[in-house]
Structure 1
Amino acid sequence: MSYKLSILASSVVLALSPALHAQEEYSVFDEVVVSGTRSEQSIKNIPSSVSKVSSEDIEQNLATDVKQALKYEPGVQVNGQGRFGMQDFTVRGMSGSRVKVLVDGVEQPASYNPGADVMRKNANTFEVDTLTAIEVNKGPTSTLYGSDALGGTVLMRTKNPEDLLGAGDDTHVGLKTGYASASDEYKATVEVANRTGDLETMVIYTYRDGNETETHGDGANINGPERGAADPLNYESHNVLGKAFYQINEDHRVGLTGEFYTRDQKVTTLSREGYDGGGGFMPGFVYTNVKGDDKDDRLRLGFEHEWLAGNVAFDSLEWKLNWSKSETEHNNFDHTDTYGNRNRSRSGTDESLQLDLQMQKELQLATSRHELTYGLAASDASFELDYTDYFLDSGTSKPGSTEVPKSDEEKWAVFVQDQMFLMDEKLVVTAGLRYDDYKAKPDSSSGLEEHSSDALTTRLGAVYHWNNNFSTYAQYSEGFRSPTIYELYYDKDNAAHGYKIVSNPNLKPEESQSYEIGLRANNRLGALELAAFYNDYDNFIKSKTEEVNGIDVTTNENIDKARIFGAEFKGSLWLDEAFGAPMGTYARLSMAYLDGEDKETGDTLDTLAPFTTVAGVGYDAPSESWGTALTVTAVAAKDKWEDSDNLEAPSYTVVDLTGYYRPTQDLTLRAGLFNAFDEKYWQYQDLEGTSASTEGVDRRTQPGRNWGINLDYAF
C-alpha cells in the first residue's frame, strides 16, 4: 500500500504547491450542485464531498445507463447485472436502502430482493438521456433527506425546458441515435422544447432495443450451471418525459411534470438448464425449458409552485406534490417431472404520494449573512406483492407464498438549515437539524403489529477560504435508516422443513455518525480536492438464528456495529499551461481508499471497495470541433471478506478511449472503444457470496473489448 500512498502524496504536492500562492480570481469549484444544501449552491461552499456527473459527461462517455454514467467515480459503485439489472448503489461502503435515491427530489423505492432467483424489484427504470446531472452526496445526509440517507444520497436531476432552450431560442429540436456493442443496443431519442411568451414546454422520448450485456468472451457458451456466457436476453424500453412551466407573474411560477417508463424483456435462462433442484436425492426436480418474461413500469406525475414572496417569514417558497407508481412483473417458465410445465408469476408494486414544502430566507446582519432553508416533507407509500403459480398442463393455479404482507408507510419530517457567511465570506458555516417520524402498517389480515420510530439528526460543517484558490473544510453529520418492510415483516412458519422466520416489528432505526475533513485548491494550472473521513454505524439490522426445540428460528435484530474510514483524491491538470502541450490538453486523476470492519466480529465488510484509481489524458481542440480522451481504471484485488472462503476478486486495469467530431455546431459524432485490451475481470460486488466451488463464475465477468457510437443533431 505504501507505493499507492506515495503516488497520492506526490499528486497532492504537485497540484497544491502552486495553488497555495496563487491569487487569481478563478475557481473550478464554482460549479453549482443541489444535493449539498437542498438548494443551488457552489461546491466551494459545501463542507463535504459531492460528486457531479453532468449530461455532457454522460454523453462524452457514451453511457447507456446509470451504471455506466458513474463508472469513473471512485467511492461510488452501481451494483447488479444479468436478468434483474441494476440493483442499488454503494457509496463509501454503504449500499442498498442505506443510500437514498431521488429523482427531481422524489424518493425512489429501494430494491426488493427476497433471495429467490424468480423475483427481484430493482432500480432499472432510470433513463439517462433525460438527465441533466447525477449528484452523489457522500456520507450521511439525513438532516437534508431523512431516512435511508445513512451512507449517502444519489440525486438524479432531469432536464427542464431551459436546459434545452438557449438564450434567445424559442424552439429546440434534438435527435440522438446510437449503438453499443456490449449489449447490441440501439437507441433513439427525440427532444422538443418551446418557449411561447411565459409558457415553456418540453417533451423527451427515448427508445432502446437491445440484448444481454455480454460477459468476457472466455466464458463457456454451454447450457447448465457451468455456463460462462450471459444468458440470452432481449428487451425494449420506452421513456417519455414531459414538462410545462408557466410564469403567472413576476412572483409566481407553476409547473407540471409527467414521466412514464416501460421495459419489456424476455430471457432464456440457459444457465438453469439441467439444474437439479433436488440435489440428486429427490428425483423429479431437474429443470428444463427455463425462460422468463419480465415487465417494468414507472409512472410519475408532479405539480410544483414557486412563490417569490419577499416577506418577513421567507423570500421564496416552493412546494411540490408528486405521485409515483412502479411495478415489476416476472413470469418464470420451466418444466420439471414433478410439476410439469408451469409459470411462477411474481409481481411487486410500490406506490407513493409525496409532499415537499421548502422556504428560504436571506438575512443580512452587520458582520454576517445567513441563508436559511426550512420546511417539511410528508409521504404515504404502499408496497404489495402478488404471487401465483400456474400449472400449465392441467390449467390450474394456486397462490404463491409471498414473503411479506401488503404494507403502508407513513413519513413526515421538519427541517431547518442555516448557512452562515462570516468574515467577509471567508468562513462559511452550515448547521442543520431535522426530525423524522416513521410508521409502518402491515395489512390487518397478517396479524402482525404496526411499527413506529423517529429520529433527530444534526449536521455542523464549515468551509474556510484562505484565498481565492485554497479552501479547507470539516463536517460532522448524522444519518439514520428506518427498518424496511422486508426486515420488519418477513414471517414464515415452515417447521415441517425445520425452520421458522419470525417478524420483528420492534426494530430500531440504524444510525450513523460521520466526520470528514478536506481541502480544495486550484489555479491556472489545475485543481484538486482531497477528503478524509471516518464513519461510525450503530444498530445495524442483521438476521440471527437460534435453535428452539429442534427448529432453526431466524429473526432480524439490531445487533451489529461497523466503522468505515478512508480518503479520496480528485485532481486535474492543464498540460498546456504546465508543460507547454497543445492548447486544450489536460490530465485527470482520482483515487479512493476504503477500510473498515464489523465492530462485533472484526471482519472486513463485504461492501468495501478495493483501492481504485482512475487516470486520464485528453484533448479538446480550441475550435471545439473535435476531441479525444484516454481513461485508465485500475482496481486492486479484494481478498478480504466477511466469509474467509469467499472467492478473491482479482485486480484489473481497463483502458477506454473516447472521441468526438463536430463538423458543424449542431452535429456531433461520438465514438468509444472500451476495455481496449480485452481484460478479463470481475467487479468485486459481483463475487460477493461466491466460493471456489461456485459454478458459472465466468458468467459474472464484465464485457471484453466493446465499442459504441452516438450521433446528436440539434436545431
Structure 2
Amino acid sequence: MRNGCGWARAIETKRAGSAGHRRIGKRLLAAVSGMALSLPAIALAQEADDATLLEAIVVTAGGYEQTIKEAPASISVIGQDDLKKKAVADLSEAIRTVPGVNVGFGSNGTRGISMRGLGSSYTLILIDGKRVNAGATTLRKYNGDLNWVPLDAIERIEVVRGPMSTLYGSDAMGGVVNIITKKASNRWTGSLTSEALLPASAATGKTHRLGGYVSGPVLKDLISFSAYGNISRRQADNPAYSNDIEVPRGTQDFDLTGRLTLTPTDDQTIKLELGHAREKYNPFLAPGDVDPETSIERTTASLGHEGQWEIGKSTTNLYFEDATNTTKTTGIDIESRNYALDSKLALDPLDYFFTHHLIVGGEVRLEKLNDPANLGKSNTVTGSTGSPKADFFTGALFAEDKVEFNDRFSMTAGLRYDYHEQFGSHFSPRTYFMYELTDTVALRTGWAQAFKAPNLRQLDPNWVTTSRGRGCGAVGGPCEMVGNPDLKPETSNSFEVGLTYDDSEWKGGLTYFFNDMKNKITSARTASLILPNGTKYVQQINVDRARSQGIEGSLTIPVHADLSWTNSFTYLLESKNLETNMPLSADPELSVHSEVTWRPRENLSFTASYDYYGKQVDYVSTPETLIAQNVDPYSIFSISTKFDMNDNFSFKAGINNLFDAQPATTSNYKEDGRTYFLSMTSTF
C-alpha cells in the first residue's frame, strides 16, 4: 500500500480500534499462560492479520476503499480461496451461493444473475468498476456478461445486493457484481491452470479450460505489465436426456487482455489496458439442429489514472467497448459501441461538526447500436421503416457522504443526477444508517430510489422482433414486439433492515428487504394488431407495478481450527407483477447453501457443499396466454479436494452434483448432471 493514502490510513486506524484491542488482549493472555512465542511465529501471526485486513477491504459499495463492516450496503466478497476450492462450469456458479442471489435460466440453458427476486436485466456487471455491455448485441441465447475474465486473473468478486443507482446509474436496480482483477506485481509472478469437467453422461457436455495470468516489472518502480487469457470449450448437452427441453448447445470461448501500469511517483498511477475476447455459441451443430452458430466478439480499451492528492484520492477512466454478434447462417452483424468517461474524488476524512467521508464524481456515456436484424424493420402498426442504427447520450453527477456521528453510529446519504437525451432528467437518492449495538452486533438499515432506463431497442419505434412467447406479455405468443419512443424509466423504492454479528470467529447476518417497482416496461396488455396469419403485434409500454420482498441470511460457524462451516439462505416472501400476478423472475421461494471445509494440513483441504432450491416458476407458452410452470424442489451435493504439492504446483479434484439431481419440470430448467473434475495449477 503506497504512502500518503488517506483512505487506507483511516481504515487501518479504525480497524486497529476494538478489533485490534481484542487481538492484543488474546496474545497477552496467551503469554501470561506461558505460551512461548518466537519472533518468527509473531511475524507469521502479523502477516495473517494483515492478510485478513486486506481481504476485508471493498470498493463497490461506497466508491472508495473501506471494510465490509463499514460498507453502507449488503455486500458479499468471493475471494481467491473461494474460487479455488472447486471447479465451476461458469462464473455464475461461484456467485450463486451468495445470499439473495440466484442463477436464472433462459433460452437454450443460458443463465443470468438475479438478485432479490428481480430478473438478471436488473443486475449491473462491472470489471474493475467498468460497465460490461456486450449483452446489448443479443436478445436471447447469451450466458451473460460474467465470463470475460479467467479465474486466474480474479482477485475477488464483490456482490452488492440492492439498488446502487446513486453511484452507478441505470441497470443497478437489483444490485451490482464487480469483478476485481489482480493488481500489477513488483516482481514477475504468474499462474497457468488446466481444468477438465467430465460429466457421467451425455446429458451434460464436457468442458475443457486453459487459463493463465502473468505480471511483473518492465522497468523497476516505473512500468509493470500484466496479462491474462483463457481458452475453453464446452460440448453441447444432449436434449434427449432432458425430455427434449432447451439445453446448452455448446460454446467455444477465448479472451486475452494486457495492461501496462505506469507509476511515475508513489502517488500517481496510469493504466493502459487492451483486451479482445470471443464467445462462440453452438459451434458443434448436431444433425437436425435448427439453432445456427453465433459468436460474440468483444474488444475493449481503457486509459485510467489514480492520483493521491493532499485532499484525497481521484480515479478517472476513459473506456471503450465494441461488441459484435454474428450469426453464421445469415452473416448479419449486430454491433454495439460504448464510450464512457467517469471520474470521482474521494476526499480524505473531513472534520466539520462530525467526521465526513465525501465522494463526488461524474460520468458521460455514449451508446451506439447497429442492429439490421431487428431495427429499421417495416412496422405494420405505424406503416413506416427506419434506420438500423440507434444511439443515445447520457451524463451524470453524483455525491455521497458518510457521516460518522460517533464511533458507533454513521449515516450515508447520496444523490445522483442523470440526464438522458431521450427521457430527460432523473434523480436517485439514498440513505443508509449503521449503528454498532455492541463490539460484535450492528444494526443496518437503508432506503434507496433507483431507476432503469429503456434500452435502445425499446425506445425505437422501428424495433420489430419476433417472440415465441416470453416477450409477448399477456397476449401470448408468437408475436411481433415493437418499440416505443415515449417510454419512461422503470423506478423503484427499496428498503432493507438487518442485524450482523462478527466476533472474528462467529459471523452472521439476517436482513429483510423490500422492493416496490413502478413503470415496469412490458408488452402491451392487448395486441395492437393481429395479422391474417394470427401473428400479434405488441408495443412496449409502462403499465406495471411490481414488488419483491424477502429475508436473507448467512452464518459462519468456527467448528474447529481446521474446520470451517459457512451457510447462507434466501427466502422470497413475494416476487410478482402486481398487475398480472405473474412472477418477476424464475427464482426459488427458498434457497439454502451450506459448505464445510476441513484442512487437516496446511497444504490439503476437503470441501463438501449442499444446495437446496425450493419451489420456483418459469414461463411456458400456450397458444393464447402465458402460464406459470411450477418447478419442484431439489438438492445438489458436491465434494472436492485441493492439494498443494509445493509452492509451484497445486491440484484439485471432485464431483459436482454427486447424486445427479435434476428438477422435475417441463420448462427450461436444467442443472449440470453429475460431473467429475480435475484441475492443475502451476505458479511461479
Once the 2 structures are TM-superposed, how far is the Cα of residue 125 of structure 1 from its aligned partner? 4.7
Query: Match for 1:371: what amino acid?
Result: H
Task: Give yes or no for contact 2:529–2:538 (8 Å, CA) kept in 1.
Answer: no
1:369 aligns with 2:347: no
Equivalent residue, structure 2, for 1:281: none
Distance 1:94 1:404 in 2: 32
Distance 1:210 1:499 in 2: 33
Equivalent residue, structure 2, for 1:624: 602
- Would the alpha carbon gap of residues 364 and 229 (structure 1) be closer, same or farther in structure 2, given more than 3 Å must change? closer
1:247 aligns with 2:227: no
| Secondary structure of residue in 2 paired with 1:67 | helix
Gaps of 5+ in 2: 1-19, 25-48, 200-204, 375-383, 466-476
1:210 aligns with 2:234: yes
1:317 aligns with 2:314: yes
1:416 aligns with 2:422: no
Equivalent residue, structure 2, for 1:276: none
Query: Match for 1:175: what amino acid?
Result: L
| Secondary structure of residue in 1 paired with 2:292 | strand
Equivalent residue, structure 2, for 1:7: none
Distance 2:530 2:334 in 1: 34
Distance 2:479 2:222 in 1: 65
- Would the alpha carbon gap of residues 214 and 201 (structure 1) be closer, same or farther in structure 2, given more than 3 Å must change? farther
Deviates more, 1:106-115 or 1:59-68: 106-115
Task: Give yes or no for contact 1:545–1:555 (8 Å, CA) kept in 2.
Answer: no
Distance 1:500 1:648 in 2: 27
Residue by residue, what CA displacement relative to the aligned partner does 1:369-388 show, whole Å, maximum 9, x if unpaired? Answer: 21110011111111112449
Once the 2 structures are TM-superposed, how far is the Cα of residue 646 of structure 1 from its aligned partner? 2.9
Query: Match for 1:126: what amino acid?
Result: W
Query: Match for 1:159: what amino acid?
Result: K
1:587 aligns with 2:565: yes
1:150 aligns with 2:173: yes
Query: Match for 1:594: what amino acid?
Result: L
Once the 2 structures are TM-superposed, how far is the Cα of residue 358 of structure 1 from its aligned partner? 0.6
Equivalent residue, structure 2, for 1:650: 632
Distance 1:228 1:548 in 2: 31
Once the 2 structures are TM-superposed, how far is the Cα of residue 138 of structure 1 from its aligned partner? 0.9
Task: Give yes or no for contact 2:481–2:539 (8 Å, CA) kept in 1.
Answer: yes
Once the 2 structures are TM-superposed, how far is the Cα of residue 651 of structure 1 from its aligned partner? 0.4
Identity among equivalent pairs (%): 20
Task: Give yes or no for contact 1:212–1:231 (8 Å, CA) kept in 2.
Answer: yes
Equivalent residue, structure 2, for 1:503: 483
Equivalent residue, structure 1, for 2:437: 466
Give the TM-score of the pair, scaled to structure 1.
0.77
Once the 2 structures are TM-superposed, how far is the Cα of residue 47 of structure 1 from its aligned partner? 3.2
| Secondary structure of residue in 2 paired with 1:57 | helix
Distance 1:211 1:498 in 2: 30
Give the TM-score of the pair, scaled to structure 2.
0.81
Distance 2:195 2:537 in 1: 53
Once the 2 structures are TM-superposed, how far is the Cα of residue 703 of structure 1 from its aligned partner? 2.0
- Would the alpha carbon gap of residues 402 and 177 (structure 1) be closer, same or farther in structure 2, given more than 3 Å must change? farther
Task: Give yes or no for contact 2:137–2:324 (8 Å, CA) kept in 1.
Answer: no
Once the 2 structures are TM-superposed, how far is the Cα of residue 519 of structure 1 from its aligned partner? 1.2
Gaps of 5+ in 1: 1-21, 221-226, 274-287, 332-342, 389-400, 440-450, 577-582, 688-693
Distance 1:25 1:140 in 2: 36
Residue by residue, what CA displacement relative to the aligned partner does 1:352-411 show, whole Å, maximum 9, x if unpaired? Answer: 1110111121244276321110011111111112449xxxxxxxxxxxx99983111211
Once the 2 structures are TM-superposed, how far is the Cα of residue 524 of structure 1 from its aligned partner? 5.4
Residue by residue, what CA displacement relative to the aligned partner does 1:559-612 show, whole Å, maximum 9, x if unpaired? Answer: 000111111110111112xxxxxx311212111011223222444434443200
1:179 aligns with 2:196: yes
Any residues of structure 2 matched to 1:224-235 within 5 Å, and which?
Answer: 227=244, 230=247, 233=250, 235=251
Residue by residue, what CA displacement relative to the aligned partner does 1:615-655 show, whole Å, maximum 9, x if unpaired? Answer: 1222123x421011111001112269798843210100110
Equivalent residue, structure 2, for 1:297: 297
Equivalent residue, structure 1, for 2:584: 605
1:710 aligns with 2:679: yes
Equivalent residue, structure 2, for 1:192: 214
Match of 2:539 among 555, 562, 578: 555
Task: Give yes or no for contact 1:493–1:499 (8 Å, CA) kept in 2.
Answer: no
Task: Give yes or no for contact 1:75–1:609 (8 Å, CA) kept in 2.
Answer: no
Match of 1:91 among 97, 112, 115: 115
Equivalent residue, structure 2, for 1:350: 336
Distance 2:103 2:385 in 1: 28
Distance 1:554 1:385 in 2: 20
- Would the alpha carbon gap of residues 173 and 548 (structure 1) be closer, same or farther in structure 2, given more than 3 Å must change? closer
Distance 2:168 2:542 in 1: 23
Equivalent residue, structure 1, for 2:325: 328
Residue by residue, what CA displacement relative to the aligned partner does 1:495-523 show, whole Å, maximum 9, x if unpaired? Answer: xx998755321111111111111111122
Distance 1:512 1:232 in 2: 36
Distance 1:120 1:405 in 2: 21
RMSD: 3.4
Match of 1:261 among 253, 277, 287: 277
| Secondary structure of residue in 2 paired with 1:488 | coil
| Equivalences, count | 604
Query: Match for 1:57: what amino acid?
Result: D
- Would the alpha carbon gap of residues 178 and 606 (structure 1) be closer, same or farther in structure 2, given more than 3 Å must change? closer
Once the 2 structures are TM-superposed, how far is the Cα of residue 252 of structure 1 from its aligned partner? 2.0
Q: Report 1 or 2 for greater relative contact order, CA contacts < 8 Å, sequence distance ≥ 6.
A: 1
Once the 2 structures are TM-superposed, how far is the Cα of residue 127 of structure 1 from its aligned partner? 2.5
Once the 2 structures are TM-superposed, how far is the Cα of residue 83 of structure 1 from its aligned partner? 5.4
| Secondary structure of residue in 1 paired with 2:371 | strand
Equivalent residue, structure 1, for 2:94: 69
Once the 2 structures are TM-superposed, how far is the Cα of residue 309 of structure 1 from its aligned partner? 2.0
Task: Give yes or no for contact 2:166–2:398 (8 Å, CA) kept in 1.
Answer: yes
